[in-house]
Amino acid sequence: MADIKSLDDLKSAVSGTSADVAAAPAAAPRVAVRDALGRSYATGKRKNAVARVWVKPGTGKVTVNGKEMAAYFARPVLQMILKQPFTIANVEGQFDVMATVVGGGLSGQAGAVKHGISKALQLYEPGLRGALKAAGFLTRDSRVVERKKYGKAKARKSFQFSKR
């Protein structure tokens, strides 16, 4: 090891020289993660809903809990939420999705499936990660319902106050 005689020698020994930094390998490029059937799997979460999502090349068919997307998520807003990752990544109609979702309500389940689709798409095709991350689809929305506290009517609401 190098002789350290002064504070400057110590700083240069700890930080390394510019040649050492240039020689350090860059971050490894992301590789596609697919199973034996050519699918990518991811878990999406939103509120209390958890979705297991498989993505594979296909015609754009989306199946949720064994039903078509339009049958499971009847509201157009929820269907739009599920289509957002494909629109952002410019791959509409190129992937089939099979999802199972449990917990929460329909809105939370739609958000969970969207999160799972986004994660599975970026695992299938790492080049899509930039667009999906910029749109915020790879970040789990951690907002959940606040628990009820004792001595309160709800999470924060107090009982009616009476002076007399």
**pLDDT for res 31:** 84
Domain span holding position 68: 40-134
Q: Give pLDDT < 70 ranges for the chain.
A: 1-25
Give a yes or no: residue 103 inside a domain: yes
Q: Could you read off the pLDDT of 7-35 as tens digits, one per residue?
A: 666 556 656 555 555 555 677 788 888 88
Give a yes or no: residue 50 inside a domain: yes
Give a yes or no: residue 45 inside a domain: yes
**pLDDT for res 164:** 85
In 51-63, which positions are buried (b, 16+ CB within 10 angstroms) versus exposed (e)?
Answer: bbbbbbeeeeebb
pTM of the model: 0.79
Query: Which DSSP symbol is given to 67?
Result: E
**pLDDT for res 27:** 77
CA 60 to chain CA centroid, nearest Å: 20
Give a yes or no: residue 71 inside a domain: yes
- First-to-last alpha carbon distance for the chain, in angstroms, is 81
Query: Which DSSP symbol is given to 58?
Result: S
- Domain total in the chain: 1
Enumerate residues 6+ apart whose C-beta is below 8 A from 66. Answer: none
Beta-carbon count within 10 A of 124 CB: 22
CATH number of domain containing 103: 3.30.230.10
Give a yes or no: residue 153 inside a domain: no
**pLDDT for res 86:** 94
Give a yes or no: residue 113 inside a domain: yes
